[in-house]
């Protein structure tokens, strides 16, 4: 082949790409206008039902103004948008299906299971090209040349193998930064006018505008590899051990197998730095605080401020696609059956052949009885339980308890193991010659200083400020019914004349009210 043949083949391959097919159609203006209206810069996914309605409304509106709109599921002799011919309302579902086939839209399922649409990298690239060509900017500007020079200088420094040359480069940068710092300390501030800031903002916006299509291209590359790997896995005839080794290795090196994947890995390592993203957010806020930003529209300011969100969303979409690939590979490896897949493919191919024959021979009103479910199997009643000899045996007789095993209990024994003795405690608090409640408690005989008596003491002292505030806590030595001693820490209350007279009476009144 000659050079011109090679160039012709290359140019034809480029012109056949979905991006240029979208740009070169007579109805490209309508399609791109609908895409830009439905998929705003902050909207990446649109539910299918809403998408169909919006496409119908927008295309019908453009059609009413005389714009050239795409045809959708109508008679072959009808052409929408042609003057002098009847207009038919567009079919949003049919148009979306055609755009999916043209690789301009992607139809997928949301996490909730609902169908949704999103733009492909080809459509995003076309929209980015339209935005770039529609903006008034100079192709050669100071900011663009400075960005090119800085990028070349930075990568040349990384490519330099001689450490002495790298040290000289770093020393030069340090000297330049030191001179800049000294100039600022002297108060010599070099302000940037609005025109130069506008030029730099336009250059940065052009680069940001390309980010969604770049991320979508990486996501589509992963999805293409996903389909390729699954198809190869279904047709694989090698031993299962070789299949596992091969596909696990391809999964580990997935992002290194394509140029898009390698580029994404480099960007991912850079964007994983939270400090870098924070600095990027602060720099964007600084740029928008410049006086030139007053001339920007609300949409431009919002799009520029959402740069970090675009980066994070693009990375999350690619990682979600990669996780889906990993999950599919795991399911294929675990539940793959070559024989069953071949049988299923053979059945599906036979069904397709039968449907094709039926569509050729039949008409639209023909009916074919088709059993969707197999016939119900008639099975007799099955025994649910088998004979168990233990279930038929008589239970053993109930033995009468021996009444002599229990000892006789008197009232004093029951009272010794019962609740607190409130009467004795109340008398001790009222008449004991003690200054505190703990001293009055210790003045009781051992049989009245059981651990349960502390509950009664707390009941009688409830309402005293010093007891409620636990200003003083002391050890209360108690004696169990078996004679063993045990001590508990508990708040105390002062027993002055006022408390001796008020506490028991108030408690009696409360108990009387509760009894009533």
Average pLDDT, the chain: 76
User: What pLDDT does residue 511 have?
Assistant: 42
User: Is the pLDDT reported for residue 54 higher than 70?
Assistant: yes
User: What pLDDT does residue 240 have?
Assistant: 54
Is residue 501 very low, low, confident or very high in pLDDT (cuts 50, 70, 90)?
very low
Q: Residue 139: how many CA atoms within 13 Å on its side-chain side?
A: 1
Element (DSSP H or E) covering residue 148: helix 142-159
The closest alpha carbon to 68, from 15, 96, 30, 106, belongs to 30
Is residue 259 very low, low, confident or very high in pLDDT (cuts 50, 70, 90)?
low
Is residue 36 very low, low, confident or very high in pLDDT (cuts 50, 70, 90)?
confident
Q: What is the pLDDT of residues 242-257, one digit of tens each?
A: 655 666 666 566 566 6
Is residue 452 very low, low, confident or very high in pLDDT (cuts 50, 70, 90)?
very high
> What is the distance between the alpha carbons of residues 490 and 442, in angstroms, rounded to a whole number?
13
Contact 197, 290 (CB under 8 A): yes
User: Is the pLDDT reported for residue 405 higher than 50?
Assistant: yes
Is residue 510 very low, low, confident or very high in pLDDT (cuts 50, 70, 90)?
very low
> What is the distance between the alpha carbons of residues 236 and 241, in angstroms, rounded to a whole number?
12
User: What pLDDT does residue 491 have?
Assistant: 92
User: What pLDDT does residue 455 have?
Assistant: 92
The closest alpha carbon to 317, from 212, 403, 247, belongs to 212
**Percentage helix, strand, coil, to 5, in the chain?**
65, 5, 30
Residue written as token pair 């903006």: 135
φ, ψ at 34 (rounded to 5°) = -65, -40
Could you tell me which residues come within 8 angstroms of residue 255 by beta carbon, excluding any fewer than 6 positions away?
222, 261, 262, 264, 265, 322
User: What pLDDT does residue 251 have?
Assistant: 58
Decide: pTM greater than 0.85.
Answer: no
Q: What is the pLDDT of residues 466-493, one digit of tens each?
A: 888 888 899 999 999 888 999 999 999 8
Give the C-alpha distances (Å, rounded to integers) separating 306 from 186, 270, 312, 390, 510. Answer: 36, 18, 10, 76, 68
Q: What is the pLDDT of residues 409-423, one digit of tens each?
A: 777 777 778 889 888
Diameter of the chain by CA atoms? 125
Q: What is the pLDDT of residues 139-198, one digit of tens each?
A: 555 666 666 777 777 767 777 778 888 888 888 889 888 888 888 787 777 777 777 787
Please report the DSSP string for 468-494 in residue order: HHT--EEEEEEE-TTS-EEEEEEE--B
User: What pLDDT does residue 147 have?
Assistant: 67
User: What pLDDT does residue 477 have?
Assistant: 92
User: What is the DSSP code (8-state) at residue 494?
Assistant: B
Q: Considering the chain, what percentage of its residues have pLDDT values greater than 90?
A: 6
Strand partners, 473: 491
Q: What is the pLDDT of residues 10-27, one digit of tens each?
A: 888 877 788 888 888 888
User: What pLDDT does residue 512 have?
Assistant: 38
SS (H, E, C) 115-129: EEEEECHHHHHHHHH
Mean pLDDT, residues 456-472? 87
Is residue 430 very low, low, confident or very high in pLDDT (cuts 50, 70, 90)?
confident
User: Is the pLDDT reported for residue 77 higher than 50?
Assistant: no
């Amino acid at each position: 082949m000659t050079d011109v043949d090679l160039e012709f083949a290359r140019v034809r391959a480029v012109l056949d790409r979905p991006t240029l097919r979208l740009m070169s159609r007579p109805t490209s203006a309508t399609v791109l206008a609908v895409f830009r209206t439905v998929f705003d810069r902050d909207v990446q996914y649109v539910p299918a039902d809403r998408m169909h309605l919006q496409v119908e409304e927008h295309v019908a509106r453009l059609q009413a103004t005389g714009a050239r709109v795409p045809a959708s599921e109508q008679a072959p002799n009808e052409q929408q948008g042609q003057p002098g011919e009847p207009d038919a309302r567009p079919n949003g579902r049919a148009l979306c299906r055609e755009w999916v086939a043209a690789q301009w839209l992607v139809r997928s399922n949301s996490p909730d299971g609902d169908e949704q649409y999103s733009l492909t990298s080809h459509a995003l690239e076309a929209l980015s090209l339209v935005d770039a060509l529609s903006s008034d900017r100079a192709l050669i500007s100071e900011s663009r040349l400075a960005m090119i020079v800085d990028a070349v200088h930075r990568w040349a420094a990384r490519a330099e193998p001689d450490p002495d040359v790298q040290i000289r480069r770093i020393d030069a940068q340090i000297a330049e930064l030191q001179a800049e710092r000294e100039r600022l300390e002297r108060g010599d501030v070099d302000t940037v006018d609005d025109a130069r800031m506008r030029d730099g903002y336009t250059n940065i916006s052009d680069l940001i505008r390309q980010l969604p299509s770049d991320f979508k291209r990486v996501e589509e590359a992963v999805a293409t590899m996903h389909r390729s790997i699954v198809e190869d896995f279904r047709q694989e005839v090698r031993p299962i051990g070789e299949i596992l080794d091969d596909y696990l290795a391809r999964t580990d090196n997935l992002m290194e197998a394509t140029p898009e994947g390698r580029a994404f890995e480099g960007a991912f390592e850079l964007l994983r730095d939270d400090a870098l993203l924070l600095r990027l957010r602060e720099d964007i806020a600084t740029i928008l605080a410049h006086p030139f930003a007053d001339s920007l529209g609300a949409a431009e300011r919002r799009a520029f401020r959402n740069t970090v969100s675009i980066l994070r969303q693009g990375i999350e979409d690619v990682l979600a696609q990669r996780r889906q690939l990993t999950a599919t590979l795991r399911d294929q490896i675990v539940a793959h059956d070559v024989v069953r897949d071949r049988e299923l493919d053979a059945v599906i191919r036979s069904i397709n052949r039968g449907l094709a024959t039926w569509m050729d021979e039949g008409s639209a009103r023909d009916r074919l009885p088709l059993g969707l479910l197999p016939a119900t199997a008639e099975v007799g009643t099955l025994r649910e339980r088998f004979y168990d000899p233990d279930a038929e045996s008589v239970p053993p007789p109930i033995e009468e308890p021996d009444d002599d095993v229990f000892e006789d209990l008197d009232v004093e024994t029951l009272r010794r193991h019962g609740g607190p003795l409130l009467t004795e405690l109340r008398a001790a608090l009222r008449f004991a010659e003690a200054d505190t409640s703990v001293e009055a408690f210790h003045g009781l005989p051992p049989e009245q200083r059981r651990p349960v008596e502390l509950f009664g003491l707390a009941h009688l002292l409830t309402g005293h400020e010093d007891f409620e505030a636990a200003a003083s806590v002391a050890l209360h030595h108690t004696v169990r019914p078996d004679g063993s001693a045990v001590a508990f820490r508990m708040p105390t209350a002062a027993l002055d004349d006022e408390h001796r007279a008020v506490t028991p009476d108030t408690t009696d009144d409360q108990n009387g009210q509760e009894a009533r």
